[in-house]
């Protein structure tokens, strides 16, 4: 079988040591790879490249489509862009995968039975970086969830589950509150789940789901969620597994997939042959499955588990009474290599099949719905009185078949029939509805009248019905 070209970056701090150990193990296990090396991180940043990655490096990534990345040091001081964010956005890496596994009784953990994989959407949600200051008092961040984005991540979660012999996919969502955005994610989950009848599908509201995950992680298998929840809960899950230094992760997209440890470059430990290479090594296991070498992944992973079982531990997981021998990075790697061909006796041996990437990034054909403009929300920066005062001013701007229907302040209706107790900021949502469908011209005319009334409109949101159903929170 032909070798698979991969791009490797040795990174900063402990990066070069843990990368050398990782490559040594997987090559000894028979990995069929051709390595292209690129430079990223501190040196590149300090040479004046604010992204920390040279343009030539992109050519290698585009060529190989597979990136094994050691941690890097982001220099102190402003102006340096996160390399992970740059790569994620450049290559459309929509999925972040983080297995969080307890290695009880060999590594200390609060949750002996834990074996959870967090599948986090990686491109959307509140992380699009679209934020505004609109008034003296209020700032806004847009949360964007798309149907294709949700389809890609949900399908990836089910494909991952099938590929890794997992039995259940759980969706974490807050659609009792965010009925539109999280509602879409949930609907997509419900649509795709029946295509995988061999896998149980369930959903939890994220707050109680997170509590359950922290308390009883054994109840979960694969969990898929939008970006923000996934960002927070993947850290919680890795921490409670007790394996922050032992966790690898993958960023997956159709163009380039990136595999790494979840920890950083630990500069204080660098150059001393101390660091645990296991996080990066377990990232490399995900890579081997991804590039179709499940046989090598299983051999290497089983030897690694046997080493952990045998109590051969680096300083970070070494514990008197449990561990047998405290070793350095190189000696740990040699211990794993010496166990190639062996299987763990207590931990569950790894069995892998090659990742099926045929559905990676697949989305459904868009079904176009009839879209009708029915009104507009005009947002105002205003602090000259009460909701009733503002309504009295705005009612004078009614006309042209478009009319003030309600006022909201920070999401609470304050007119008509508001409560005098509701605190009002200087940020008002003024909803105008047409009698029976409206045109853009009616909105621009309305805005002229609002402006002539001396009001500062800070943004508008058009209100649409889709196939007759309101496409806005009512
Ligand atoms: P860190 O993960 O580097 O270190 C946190 C703690 O864990 C330290 O005590 C460290 O010694 C220990 N540790 C981490 N990895 C270890 C390993 N493999 N073996 C043994 N001990 C290990 O986090 P930090 O100190 O906050 O950040 C250091 C640098 O890493 C910063 O410049 C940060 O920007 C960068 N960073 C990079 C990445 C990445 O490249 N993906 C991720 C996180 C942080």
Query: How do residues 195-231 score in pLDDT, each as one tens digit?
Result: 999 999 999 999 999 999 999 999 999 999 999 999 9
Provide the 10 A C-beta neighbour count for residue 267. Answer: 14
Mean pLDDT of 451-471: 96
What is the C-alpha to C-alpha distance for residues 88 and 84, in angstroms, rounded to an integer? 6
pLDDT in the model for residue 55: 87
Cα–Cα distance list, 370 to 429, 432, 467 (Å): 26, 21, 5
260 lines ligand 1 (CB under 6 A): yes
**Mean pLDDT for the chain overall:** 95
Pairwise CA distance, residues 52 & 352, whole Å = 35
The DSSP code sequence of 398-442 is: -BTTEEEEEEEETTEEEETT--TTS---SEEEEEEEESS---HHH
DSSP assignments along 268-305, one per residue: GGTTTT----HHHHHHHHHHHHHTT-HHHHHHHHHHHH
Q: Is 96 in the pocket of ligand 1 (CB under 6 A)?
A: no
The residue to mutate among 266, 283, 308, having the most atoms of ligand 1 within 8 angstroms of its beta carbon, is 266
> What single-letter DSSP state applies at residue 126?
G
Q: What are phi and psi of 132, to 5 degrees?
A: -140, 145
How many Å lie between the centroid of ligand 1 and the Cα of residue 272?
Answer: 15
12 has a pLDDT exceeding 90:
yes
* Local confidence band at 425 (pLDDT 50, 70, 90 cut-offs): very high
Q: Measured between alpha carbons, how far is 186 from 150 in angstroms, rounded to an integer?
A: 9
The residue written with tokens 């920066």 in the block is 381
Structure tokens at 187: 């609907």
Mean pLDDT for the stretch of residues 347-351 = 94
Query: Counting every residue, how long is the chain?
Result: 474
Domain ranges for the chain: 4-338, 371-470
- The answer to whether 135 touches 458, Cβ cutoff 8 Å, is yes
Task: Give dist(CA 81, CA 74) in Å, integer.
Answer: 8
Q: Name the helix (H) or strand (E) containing 118.
A: strand 115-121
CB neighbour list of residue 47: distance below 8 Å, 6 or more residues apart: none
Q: How far is the CA of 303 from the centre of ligand 1 (A)?
A: 25
Q: Which residue has the tokens 């909701």?
A: 387
Q: How far is the CA of 14 from the centre of ligand 1 (A)?
A: 9
Q: What's the longest Cα–Cα distance across the chain?
A: 83
Both tokens of 235, joined, read 């850290």
- Whether 424 shows a pLDDT value over 90: the answer reads yes
> What is 4-338's CATH number, 3.40.50.720, 3.30.1180.20, 3.40.718.10, 3.30.470.20?
3.40.718.10
* Residue 55: exposure state from Cβ atoms within 10 A (0-12, 13-18, ≥19): exposed
| Between 212 and 55, residue with greater pLDDT | 212
Pairing of strands 168-173, 222-225: parallel
- State which ligand 1 atom lies nearest to the alpha carbon of 71: 40
Atom nearest to 276 CA in ligand 1? 19
Best residue for ligand 1 mutational test, from 77, 96, 265 (most atoms within 8 Å of Cβ): 265
What is the structure's pLDDT at 360? 94
Does the pLDDT value for residue 280 go beyond 90? yes
Atom of ligand 1 nearest to the CA of 260: 41
Distance CA 459, CA 427 (A): 11
The pLDDT value recorded for residue 141 is 96
- Class of the 371-470 domain? alpha beta
Q: What is the pTM of this model?
A: 0.94
């Amino acid at each position: 079988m032909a070798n698979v070209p991969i791009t490797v970056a040795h990174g900063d701090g402990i990066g070069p040591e843990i990368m050398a150990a990782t490559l040594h193990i997987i090559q000894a296990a028979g990995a069929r790879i051709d390595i292209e090396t690129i430079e990223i991180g501190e040196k590149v940043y300090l040479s004046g490249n604010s992204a920390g990655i040279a343009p030539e490096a992109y050519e290698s990534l585009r060529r190989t489509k597979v990136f094994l990345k050691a941690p890097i040091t982001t220099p102190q001081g402003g102006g340096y862009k996160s390399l992970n964010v740059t790569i994620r956005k450049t290559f459309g890496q929509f999925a972040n995968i983080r297995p969080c596994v307890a290695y009880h009784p060999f590594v200390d953990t609060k949750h002996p039975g834990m074996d959870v994989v967090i599948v986090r959407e990686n491109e959307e949600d509140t992380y699009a970086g679209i934020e505004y200051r609109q008034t003296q008092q209020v700032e806004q961040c847009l949360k964007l969830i798309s149907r294709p984005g949700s389809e890609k991540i949900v399908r990836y979660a089910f494909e991952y589950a099938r590929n890794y012999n997992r039995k259940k996919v759980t969706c974490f969502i807050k659609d009792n509150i965010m009925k539109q955005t999280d509602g879409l994610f949930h609907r997509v989950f419900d649509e795709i789940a029946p295509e995988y009848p061999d896998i149980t599908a369930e959903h939890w509201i994220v707050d109680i789901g997170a509590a359950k995950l922290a308390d009883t992680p054994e109840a979960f298998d694969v969990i898929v969620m939008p970006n923000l929840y996934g960002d927070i809960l993947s850290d919680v899950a890795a921490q409670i597994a007790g394996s922050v230094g032992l966790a690898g992760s993958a960023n997956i997209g159709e163009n380039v997939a990136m595999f790494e440890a979840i920890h950083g470059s630990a500069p204080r430990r660098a150059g001393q042959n101390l660091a645990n290479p296991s996080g990066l090594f377990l990232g490399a296991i995900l890579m081997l499955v991804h590039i179709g070498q499940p046989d090598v992944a299983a051999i290497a992973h089983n030897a690694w588990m046997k080493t952990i079982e045998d109590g051969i531990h680096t300083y970070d997981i070494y514990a008197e009474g449990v561990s047998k021998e405290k070793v350095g990075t190189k000696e740990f790697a040699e211990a794993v290599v010496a166990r190639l061909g062996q299987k763990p006796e207590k931990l569950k041996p790894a069995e892998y099949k090659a990742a099926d990437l045929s559905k990676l990034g697949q989305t459904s054909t868009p079904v176009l719905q009839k879209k009708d403009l029915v009104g507009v929300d005009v947002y105002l920066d205003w602090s000259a009185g009460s909701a009733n005062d503002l309504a009295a001013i705005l009612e004078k701007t009614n006309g042209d078949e478009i009319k003030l229907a309600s006022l909201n302040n920070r999401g609470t209706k304050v007119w008509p029939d508001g409560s005098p107790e509701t605190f009002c900021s200087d940020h008002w949502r003024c909803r105008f509805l047409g009698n029976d469908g409206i045109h853009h011209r009616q909105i621009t005319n309305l805005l002229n009248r609002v402006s002539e009334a001396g009001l500062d409109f800070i943004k508008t949101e058009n209100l649409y019905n889709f196939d007759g159903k309101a496409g806005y929170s009512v």
